[in-house]
């Protein structure tokens, strides 16, 4: 670790803290129907949309109708994407991917299912190679592994917008349920969705995308460029409308790369400055939601307590990754490699990392992208030192609540808040209450469903994979690292993250199908109990705080919350992790390679 | 319930259409328009063309350099395929990370071994065929050999490891500096404009093509290999085409 490296992390945390309040106020204004500074321009557009759609924006929904609307919307967009993927070869904007006019083919069924599920659920797991050129080069072009500009722009980027908007809408509905008393309605799904896209996602992305173009991210519809290199070889350079997709990929915590190498690709993330903005945009909405929440329930400290617990876990994770990555891999050091970071040598574990980012900016990105449900990467986790690679894995397994994905992270952590309140209530022997609402048996059942679905899917599917021959053949690295690859695949799928220990060959019928289901389970089986919980909470009266009320606004509660999150996570995953990354760290420290046979 | 289903399905369809117009037509075209006008070069991939107007690459995309007259970039798991980016994804205790992903092949007596294959000691008729990734050990050996460095010379971390994108346009300043002597020798031998080349001149070029940290603190400094090699050619002329 260097002073400058630590400074990069500190500056990041400070700026994140600084944008939390303005972001939160703006989010609150948008969803509470208050006037924002963009209203003069956007309010007429919004009104026009409702007029065209014949939607009554004042009519709200109870939790069941809200859930039905959300499910129908998700289902239809998923079907649409599946269709486009299957027909992309004959749809327009199918770019030539080499000099001889090869175009992208249609995507095979299982892969198209996986991809459609992946983008609908805000996961953005990618078993395809977006730019597809490697397949073209080997002569097996149009194997349907790639995607066309049309698919990227009209489907994948579309999901990047709407899956993020769905997540944020759900978080807002949940906040309404906590803030309201003796009510039934939790908001109008269509209004929430439209407002989120119109007031929050689109304006920010427009500015962000233009800044990205300035930094060097392409935005064109050209065929791939065929260049003759300085040494006279041919290099085919993939192009495309990258910037517009890149902005929402980060800001909506989607993470699906326009290119295979994601945000390590110089066209997606050309400079340390663009990298910094990308990291900031990942957590901007998630952090802002904590402030919006405080404002909504009329007590700003309720929001800061949650932000504080998130910040502790976020900062700890970032420094663990940075520390281990900067120390490097002793097996590489033994080859006469200098791992000390200086101005003239990035040092550390550079396998899978870019020179322009180095150790600090790569490690921080790894933490941020898995703390949220983003899953974009600017360095490759599969080549991280084992404990550094375990941090992203654990971040996702905990439910991506360390700030979290847009919306999903926030309703995720509220579930843990309620769990903490419940545990505190058990300890003192009183009925637990949160924000004046009594937490009862039915509510706790919903909370436990949410808490248990994640490990059930992660550990269940990983167990299946580890006894399946085909699944094992997909592993790229031997020994404990291979187990970590499988665990990571199902953790990332269920957690709707989308980052990967990318050595694993996910494009098999086995992983396409099971991974696709894991993503749908992780998204929708999580959302339904959450909405049911919201439906139950919104009905409750609030009781005034008494001396027996456990205060949820102090350091003590923040500490309890962090404790509950870590204990639940540790109890659930420690056995599996000790066979994966933990044992591998010992192997590496002993200076041994994992020899097969 | 059925009524709700029907109504919300129809609402879904309508909202999807409206959001499609906003997010996949208006928004990307707006970015495209602004990008093409305000940042035309970047929006089209920061391409570099030579004096004949041919595209020779992109400033942002690394390319393969093997000739002694040029600075070499980092190892790439995808051979600098700019239409198929990717990392090695080799784990930290994977033997392939150190030794490469090649494989041993056994041939029958009298059969010719595959190209690039080297005999394996102690195993008759067995050859080692290098894979797409040579491993840290071999990358280090190769770099020391090419540049006439001692067998125990310490190397910077970037020059023996594959980048995340496989297209990293940069190397560290150390990795560039260690190549200076080789380049001076190779260029000098060609005479002409390059006869007077000195290590100091080349080091100045490295300085000129080093991108510092953004805003003074973000990221790490790096040398753009393609731009540096172009600067070399500009000053000392392009090396003659290799004999076929």
Residue B243 pLDDT: 57
Residue A135 pLDDT > 60: no
Could you read off the pLDDT of A242-291 as tens digits, one per residue? 999 999 999 999 999 999 999 999 999 999 999 999 999 999 999 999 99
Residues A406, A420: Cα–Cα separation, whole Å: 22
Residues A217, A220: Cα–Cα separation, whole Å: 10
Residue A289 pLDDT: 96
Pick the residue of B1, B13, B45 with the most A CBs within 10 A to test the interface with A by mutation: B45
Burial A326-364 (b: 16+ CB within 10 A, else e): bbbbebbbebbbbbebeebbbbbbbbbbbbbbbbbbbbb
Alpha-carbon distance B110 to nearest alpha carbon in chain A (angstroms)? 30
Q: Is B224 on the interface with A (CB under 8 A)?
A: no
Contact B63 A230 (CB under 8 A): yes
Residue A497 pLDDT: 93
- Per-window interface: B 109-128 vs A, CB < 8 A: none
Q: Is B37 on the interface with A (CB under 8 A)?
A: no
Give the closest residue to A355 by CA, choosing from A282, A270, A268, A274. A270
- Of all residues in chain A, what percent carry a pLDDT higher than 90? 85
CB A263 within 8 A of CB A275: yes
A394 to A310, A352, A581, B151, B210: CA distances (angstroms): 14, 20, 11, 41, 37
Across the interface, which of A227, A329, A351 has its CB nearest the CB of B56?
A: A227
**What is the pLDDT tens value at each position of chain B, 244 positions in all?**
789 999 999 999 999 999 999 999 999 999 999 999 999 999 999 999 998 999 999 999 999 999 999 999 999 999 999 998 999 999 999 999 999 988 888 888 777 887 778 888 888 888 888 888 999 999 999 999 999 999 999 999 999 999 999 999 999 999 999 999 999 999 999 888 888 999 999 999 999 999 999 999 999 999 999 999 999 999 999 998 775 5
Alpha-carbon distance B125 to nearest alpha carbon in chain A (angstroms)? 22
Residue A196 pLDDT: 97
Looking up tokens 């595959």 gives B114
Residue A550 pLDDT: 86
A134 pLDDT band, cuts 50/70/90, is very low
A549 pLDDT band, cuts 50/70/90, is confident
Instruction: Enumerate the β-bridge partners of residue B104.
Output: B128
Pick the residue of B30, B139, B156, B157 with the most A CBs within 10 A to test the interface with A by mutation: B157
CB atoms within 10 A of CB A142: 17
Q: How many residues does chain A have?
A: 597
A572 to A273, A566, A582, B217: CA distances (angstroms): 38, 10, 15, 39
CB A449 within 8 A of CB A567: no
Residue A138 pLDDT: 38
Alpha-carbon distance B214 to nearest alpha carbon in chain A (angstroms)? 6
Contact B83 A224 (CB under 8 A): yes
Instruction: Spell out the alpha helix ranges (H) of A399-508.
Output: 408-428, 441-466, 469-473, 480-494
Q: Is A7 on the interface with B (CB under 8 A)?
A: yes
Instruction: Enumerate the β-bridge partners of residue B155.
Output: A337
Q: Report residue B113 CA to chain centroid gap.
A: 30
Contact A337 B58 (CB under 8 A): no
Residue A136 pLDDT > 60: no
Across the interface, which of B43, B61, B97 has its CB nearest the CB of A219?
A: B43
CB atoms within 10 A of CB A292: 29
**Per-state percent for chain B, helix, strand, coil, to nearest 5:** 45, 10, 45
Q: Is B21 on the interface with A (CB under 8 A)?
A: no
Residue A527 pLDDT > 60: yes
Contact A336 B211 (CB under 8 A): no
Q: Mean per-residue pLDDT for A95-120?
A: 90
The HSE-up count of residue A288 (CA atoms within 13 Å, CB side) is 23
Alpha-carbon distance A347 to nearest alpha carbon in chain B (angstroms)? 5
Please report residues of B whose CB lies closer than 8 A to that of A388: none
Q: Mean per-residue pLDDT for A384-407?
A: 92
Could you read off the pLDDT of A465-500 as tens digits, one per residue? 999 988 888 898 999 999 999 999 999 999 999 999
Residue A495 pLDDT: 92
Across the interface, which of A157, A218, A358 has its CB nearest the CB of B24?
A: A157
Residue A477 pLDDT: 92
CB atoms within 10 A of CB B137: 18
Q: Is A100 on the interface with B (CB under 8 A)?
A: no
CB B87 within 8 A of CB A380: yes
Residue A428 pLDDT: 84
Across the interface, which of A137, A197, A216 has its CB nearest the CB of B23?
A: A197
Give the closest residue to B171 by CA, choosing from B195, B197, B147. B147
Please report residues of A whose CB lies closer than 8 A to that of B160: 332, 335, 337
Pick the residue of B48, B87, B91 with the most A CBs within 10 A to test the interface with A by mutation: B91
Beta-carbon contacts of residue A65 (< 8 Å; ≥ 6 apart) = A189, B4, B8
Q: Where are the beta strands (DSSP E) in A188-345?
A: 225-228, 234-237, 337-338
A597 pLDDT band, cuts 50/70/90, is low
Contact A346 B172 (CB under 8 A): yes
Q: Mean per-residue pLDDT for A449-471?
A: 93
Residue B131 pLDDT: 84
Q: Is A217 on the interface with B (CB under 8 A)?
A: yes
Domain spans, chain A: 406-589
A115 to A143, A147, A161, B141: CA distances (angstroms): 15, 11, 16, 42
Three-state DSSP string of A446-468:
HHHHHHHHHHHHHHHHHHHHHCC
Q: Is B147 on the interface with A (CB under 8 A)?
A: no
Q: Is B178 on the interface with A (CB under 8 A)?
A: no
Q: Mean per-residue pLDDT for A93-103?
A: 86
CB atoms within 10 A of CB A75: 14
Average predicted confidence (pLDDT) for chain A: 93
Residue A139 pLDDT > 60: no
Q: Is A199 on the interface with B (CB under 8 A)?
A: no
Burial A223-250 (b: 16+ CB within 10 A, else e): bbbbbebbbeeebbbbbbbbbbbbbbbb
Alpha-carbon distance A5 to nearest alpha carbon in chain B (angstroms)? 8
Residues B92, B81: Cα–Cα separation, whole Å: 24
Beta-carbon contacts of residue B25 (< 8 Å; ≥ 6 apart) = none
Domain spans, chain B: 1-44, 46-86+150-244
Q: β-strand B103-106 against B126-129: which pairing, if any?
A: antiparallel
Residue B244 pLDDT: 52
Residues A417, A434: Cα–Cα separation, whole Å: 9
Please report residues of B whose CB lies closer than 8 A to that of A248: 23
- Collapsed DSSP state (helix, strand, coil) of residue B103: strand
Phi, psi of A241 (to 5 degrees): -80, 75
CB B209 within 8 A of CB B227: yes
Search chain A and give the residue with CA nearest B171. A355
DSSP annotation of A156: I
Please report residues of A whose CB lies closer than 8 A to that of B88: 351-352, 380, 383
Search chain A and give the residue with CA nearest B52. A228
Give the closest residue to A527 by CA, choosing from A33, A20, A8, A63. A63
Residue A400 pLDDT: 86
Instruction: Enumerate the β-bridge partners of residue A185.
Output: A62
CB A161 within 8 A of CB A245: no
Contact A346 B60 (CB under 8 A): no
């Amino acid at each position: 670790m260097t002073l400058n490296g630590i400074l990069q992390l500190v500056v990041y945390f400070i700026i994140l803290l600084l944008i939390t309040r303005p972001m939160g106020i703006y989010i609150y204004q948008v969803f509470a129907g208050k006037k924002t500074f963009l209203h003069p321009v956007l309010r007429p557009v919004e009104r026009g949309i409702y007029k065209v759609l014949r939607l009554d924006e004042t009519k709200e929904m109870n939790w069941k109708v809200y859930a039905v609307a959300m499910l129908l919307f998700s289902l239809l967009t998923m079907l649409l994407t599946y269709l486009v993927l299957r027909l992309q070869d004959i749809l327009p904007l199918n770019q030539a991917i080499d000099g001889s006019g090869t175009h992208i083919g249609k995507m095979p069924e299982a892969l198209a299912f996986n991809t459609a599920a992946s983008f609908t659920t805000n996961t953005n797991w990618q078993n395809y190679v977006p730019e597809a050129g490697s397949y073209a080069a080997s002569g097996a072009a149009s194997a349907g592994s790639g995607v066309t500009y049309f698919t990227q722009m009209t489907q994948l980027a579309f999901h990047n917008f709407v899956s993020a908007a769905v997540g944020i809408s759900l978080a807002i509905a949940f906040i309404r349920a906590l803030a309201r008393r003796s009510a039934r309605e939790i908001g109008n799904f269509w209004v929430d969705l439209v407002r989120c896209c119109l007031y929050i996602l689109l304006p920010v992305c427009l500015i962000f995308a233009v800044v990205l173009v300035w930094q060097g991210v392409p935005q064109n519809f050209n065929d791939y460029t065929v260049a003759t290199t300085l040494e006279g070889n041919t290099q085919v350079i993939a192009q495309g409308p990258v910037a517009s997709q890149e902005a929402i990929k980060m800001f909506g915590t989607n993470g699906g790369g326009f290119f295979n190498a994601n945000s390590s690709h110089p066209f997606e993330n050309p400079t340390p400055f663009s990298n910094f903005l990308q990291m900031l945009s990942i957590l901007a909405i998630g952090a802002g939601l904590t402030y919006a929440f405080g404002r909504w329930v009329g007590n700003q400290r309720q929001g800061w307590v949650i932000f504080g617990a998130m910040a502790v876990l976020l900062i700890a994770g970032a420094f663990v990754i940075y520390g281990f990555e900067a120390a490097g891999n002793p097996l590489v050091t033994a080859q006469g490699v200098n791992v000390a970071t200086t101005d003239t040598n990035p040092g550390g574990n550079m396998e899978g990392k870019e020179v322009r980012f180095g150790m600090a900016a790569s490690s921080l990105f790894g933490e941020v992208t898995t703390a949220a449900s983003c899953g974009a990467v600017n360095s490759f986790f599969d080549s991280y030192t084992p404990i550094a690679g375990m941090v992203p894995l654990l971040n996702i397994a905990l439910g991506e609540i360390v700030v979290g994905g847009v919306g999903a992270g926030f309703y995720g952590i509220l579930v843990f808040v309620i769990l903490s309140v419940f545990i505190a209530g058990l300890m003192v022997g009183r009925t637990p209450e949160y924000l004046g609402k009594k937490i009862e048996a039915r509510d706790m059942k919903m909370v436990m469903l949410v808490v248990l679905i994640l490990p059930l899917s992660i550990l269940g599917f990983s167990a299946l994979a580890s006894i399946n021959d085909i699944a094992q053949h997909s592993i790229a690295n031997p020994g404990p690292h291979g187990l970590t690859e499988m665990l990571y695949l199902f953790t990332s799928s269920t957690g709707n993250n989308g980052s990967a220990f990318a050595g694993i060959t996910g494009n098999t019928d086995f992983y396409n199908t099971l991974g696709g289901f894991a993503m749908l389970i992780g998204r929708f089986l999580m959302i339904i109990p959450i909405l049911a919980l919201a439906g139950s909470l919104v009905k409750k009266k609030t009781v005034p705080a008494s001396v027996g009320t456990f205060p949820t606004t102090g350091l003590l509660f923040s500490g309890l919350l962090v404790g509950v999150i870590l204990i639940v996570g540790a109890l659930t995953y420690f056995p599996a992790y000790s066979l994966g990354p933990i044992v591998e760290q010992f192997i590496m420290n002993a200076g041994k390679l994992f020899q097969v046979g | 319930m059925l009524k709700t289903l029907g109504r919300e399905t129809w609402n879904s369809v309508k909202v999807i259409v409206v959001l499609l117009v906003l997010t996949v037509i208006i928004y990307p075209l707006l970015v495209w328009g602004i990008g093409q006008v305000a940042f035309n070069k970047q929006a089209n991939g920061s391409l570099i063309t030579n004096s004949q107007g041919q595209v020779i690459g992109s400033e942002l995309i690394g390319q393969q350099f093997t000739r002694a007259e040029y600075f070499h970039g980092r190892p790439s798991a995808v051979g600098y395929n700019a239409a198929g980016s990717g990392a090695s994804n080799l784990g930290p205790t994977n033997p392939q990370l150190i030794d490469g992903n090649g494989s041993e092949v056994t041939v029958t007596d009298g059969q010719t071994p595959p190209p690039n294959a080297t005999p394996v000691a102690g195993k008759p008729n067995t050859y080692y065929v290098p894979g797409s990734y040579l491993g840290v050990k071999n990358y280090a050996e190769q770099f020391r050999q090419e540049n006439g460095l001692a067998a125990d010379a310490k190397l910077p971390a970037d020059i023996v490891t594959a980048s995340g994108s496989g297209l990293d346009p940069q190397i560290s300043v150390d990795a560039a500096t260690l190549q200076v002597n080789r380049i001076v020798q190779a260029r000098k031998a060609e005479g002409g404009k390059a006869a007077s080349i000195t290590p100091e001149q080349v080091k100045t070029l490295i300085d000129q093509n080093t991108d510092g940290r953004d805003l003074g603190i973000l990221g790490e400094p790096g040398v753009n290999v393609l731009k540096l090699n172009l600067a070399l050619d500009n000053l000392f002329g392009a090396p003659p085409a290799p004999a076929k």
